[in-house]
Chain A
Amino acid sequence: MATTLRTRRESRQAAPGGRAKTKSSYPYWFYLPAAVVYTVLFVVPTLTSFYFSLTRWTLFDMEFIGLENFVEFFEEPALVTGLKNTLIYGVVTSGLKVVLGLLLAVLLTSQVIARGYLRSVVFFPVLVSTIGVGFTFTALMDPEVGLINESLALIGIDGPSWLTDPSIALLSVALVDVWKGVGLATVIYIAGIVSIPREYFEAAQVDGASAFKRFRHVILPLARPATTTVIILSLIGGLRSFDLIWAMTRGGPGFTSDVIASVIYKQYQAGFYGLSTAGNVVLFVLVTAIIIPLWRFLNRKGVDL
């Protein structure tokens, strides 16, 4: 009796193990191509960049100088502005994408006319090249002959110098970033809202909840996974943002819209390779230091719910 029991238990235990074995019937070398690509293109450069950040190198030779690059990088006057601007840019773009993305998603999951068409319109800017968007908006935002200020002039408003006024240049670029990126946030939210079971809405309706209350107490909490994704994605995107800023202001006027990535690029351009490598290591650490705790925090909330 005991033996049969034991064998039965053993066989039951063996079963999942056996299934696991058949699951991994792919030979390990199937992983090889991916591993090679990942190692060559990501792991090796990352590790070598840690080393090169400790040297002063040109394309022809190098000299080991310890942590001097990091000291110099943190003494860089443009860095303080760069750091501040990076955070402003990341938070502003990410925040606006969450708010606008959610509102647009609510609109586009309701029974609005031409819903499919509107959804594609909202998503369309995501597909356009960032550099193209940057150049287009640079022309539109020209203070003298740009379409935006000419339109404002028609209704009697004297538009600001969007990209050349040091106090608003960064925000102007951030707005364009939001215009370009909000489509992706919207799509993620649409997926999140559509996956909320209908029963919740019906139950809320039976209880006499108003449209706002349904939004506040059903959509908002149950779309939290979507919010997490949008925040993480857009914050990472915002913190390491470079292409749009470079296309529109090149960090200018002067250094007033420089972000860390453009500071690093300028250093690279100037031939300060070691210094710019150190800058990249700093950016890597900064993004990691912000994103990992944030991700944990947002996900823990998700589990609590």
Chain B
Amino acid sequence: MWSATAAARSRISAAAMLVASLALAGCGGSSSGEAGEVTLEFLVDNQPTTVAIAEGLAADYHKQHPKVTIEVETRPQGGDGDNVVKTRLATGEMADVFLYNTGSLLQALNPEETLVPVEEPVVGRLDDSFTQTVTAGDQVYGAPIGFAMGGGVLYNEAVYDELKLDVPKTWDEFMANNAKVKAAGTAAPVAQTYRETWTAQLFLLGDYHNVQKAEPNFAQDYTAGDTGFGTSEAADDGFEHLQEVHSAGYLNKDFASSDYNDGIRMIAKGEAAHYPMLTDAIMEVAASYPKDLDDLGFFALPGDDADSAGLTVWTSSGLYIPTTTEDEELEAAEDFRSFVASKAGCASQARATTPGGPFMVEGCELPDDVPGAVKDLESYFDQEGATTPALEFLSPIKGPALEHICVEVGSGIRSAQDGAALYDEDVEKQAQQLGLEGW
């Protein structure tokens, strides 16, 4: 008898514990404090310049709206960061506002179901080249944060002056410069940093302006599955170039074990003459080696033809609000997003860090004292037809293994031809996962 009651009693207490633990699990999530005070979580990647921009914006917005506090939270960059964003969105745990890529990576988030669209009048203030990268269906889902970037070659002007080199307009001129740098022996002709695999892709992705000049329909055909890096003459060049600089012995000795920060150091200090990179690296140089900033220059990745030379452009990141943000948080988040995409927001960002490229908001101008490399970058934006968006903004397909394939081709493990063929297979999987027609 006693055992039955004991059993019943413990059954009850077990049930009570279960309920209690469920109740505990139910608590949490963002909570707003007393009377009209709102706290927003703001998720950004952990690149120092991004964090500086985000914290600057949060502080400036708080000054204008004392009842709204914005807490900046960081996540890793690259693939690991993509996982964080996707998982948190899918489980409904996303921060109230977050920063993420535009273009193909944004499309993978299924914005029409997971994100809150940007309304007028904010949309009207945005640069068209930006809005087309954050549009799904007929809605715009993100506002620009940060600066537009170019993908090309950072070069050290001190090395160029010493060896009396000119900025190359074609690939052959570029290789000729490399040969002279190598002969002089003071600096590595080309810095590569394959420990951080994403940095290996610039010769390929930055070449897209030249691809599109040669084959104007490449992006559409590529999305439809009619062309590829192995089959197109022009697109194949990127892999060829990667292979050429390695086999000519132009890379820094420790290219396989160097990381992005080493690359920044090498180009700033003149240990290398060239570093193929995105121009947001200029901000890193400004932050870590301010004294060497004046030695830094930039040119677009040269192709075969000097007349059609131009720049491949990455738009700035987007600021998004997930559909899980509701009520006063949603109101505050939308107002914050509108602030970021305004003149006041641009000014706040220019204060937080050295601007690495133009703003994507109309009426926002760069300050006059930007570094020389940024002026080099701006000169491409000022010429008609000298800029082309990167392929990832024109086509939803970007194979995830590209960076590893680039590392292999760029360190002589795999031939350029093999690499291109392998990448086409990788792309096929991506297209199928996206459910595209014709694959």
Contact = CB atoms under 8 A, between A and B. Distances in A.
Interface string A43-63: 000000000000010111001
Contact of A254 (B7, B87, B114, B411): B411
Contact of A269 (B80, B407, B425, B429): B80
A208 interface: no
A27 B411 CA distance: 65
Contacts of A165: 256
B86 interface: yes
Interface string A245-268: 000001111111000000000101
A29 interface: yes
Contacts of A166: 411, 413
Contact of B83 (A144, A161, A250, A269): A269
B400 A266 contact: yes
Given A59-B90, A253-B411, A266-B400, A164 B432 contact: no
Residues of B contacting A: mostly: helix
Nearest to A249: B195
A252 B11 CA distance: 53
Interface residues of B, number: 38
A201 interface: no
A144 B257 contact: yes
Contacts of A142: 257
B197 A29 contact: no
A252 B256 CA distance: 10
B408 A56 contact: no
A59 B408 CA distance: 31
Contact of B432 (A56, A143, A254, A266): A56
B401 interface: yes
B92 to A, nearest CB: 11
B405 A272 contact: no
A304 to B, nearest CB: 47
B82 A58 contact: no
* Size bracket, chain A contacts: 20 to 34
A163 B400 CA distance: 22
Contacts of B430: 270, 272
Given A27-B7, A29-B11, A253 B413 contact: yes
B113 A60 contact: yes
A266 B110 CA distance: 20
Among A59, A271, A275, max chain B CB count under 10 A is at A271
Interface in B237-295: 253-254, 256-257
Contacts of B11: 29
Nearest to A65: B432
Nearest to B80: A269
Contact of A59 (B80, B89, B425, B429): B89
A269 B79 contact: yes
A252 B86 contact: no
Interface string B182-200: 0000000000001101000
Contacts of A60: 90, 110, 113-114
B433 interface: yes
A158 interface: no
Nearest to A146: B257
B414 interface: yes
A250 B195 CA distance: 9
A19 to B, nearest CB: 19
A156 interface: no
Contacts of A77: 422, 425
B436 interface: no
A272 B80 CA distance: 14
A82 B110 CA distance: 31
Interface in B68-93: 79-80, 82-83, 86-87, 89-90
A72 interface: yes
B404 A251 contact: yes
B256 A164 contact: yes
A142 B433 CA distance: 38
Given A266-B400, A270-B430, A161 B256 contact: yes
B413 A256 contact: yes
B257 A254 contact: no
Contact of A272 (B413, B414, B429): B429
B16 interface: no
B400 A58 contact: no
A270 B197 contact: no
Contacts of B86: 59, 271
Contacts of B79: 266, 269-270
A252 B432 contact: no
Nearest to B114: A60
B184 to A, nearest CB: 22
B433 A266 contact: no
Given A27-B7, A256-B413, A272 B256 contact: no
Among A59, A268, A272, A274, max chain B CB count under 10 A is at A59
B138 to A, nearest CB: 20
Contacts of B7: 27, 29
Interface string B93-112: 00000000000000010100
Contacts of A253: 194, 256, 407-408, 411, 413
Among B86, B110, B404, max chain A CB count under 10 A is at B404
A255 B90 CA distance: 30
Task: Give the top 6 A-B pairs by smallest Cβ distance, nearest first.
Answer: A270-B400, A254-B408, A164-B256, A59-B90, A269-B79, A144-B254
18 contacts: A29-B11, A77-B422, A144-B254, A161-B256, A165-B256, A250-B197, A252-B404, A253-B194, A253-B256, A255-B404, A266-B400, A269-B79, A269-B82, A269-B400, A270-B79, A272-B400, A272-B430, A274-B433
Interface of A: 27, 29, 33, 56, 58-60, 63, 72, 77-78, 142-144, 161, 163-166, 250-256, 266, 268-272, 274-275
Interface of B: 7, 11, 14, 79-80, 82-83, 86-87, 89-90, 108, 110, 113-114, 194-195, 197, 253-254, 256-257, 400-401, 404-405, 407-408, 411, 413-414, 422, 425, 429-430, 432-433, 435
Given A164-B195, A164-B257, 8 more contacts: A29-B7, A142-B257, A166-B413, A251-B404, A256-B413, A269-B80, A271-B108, A272-B430
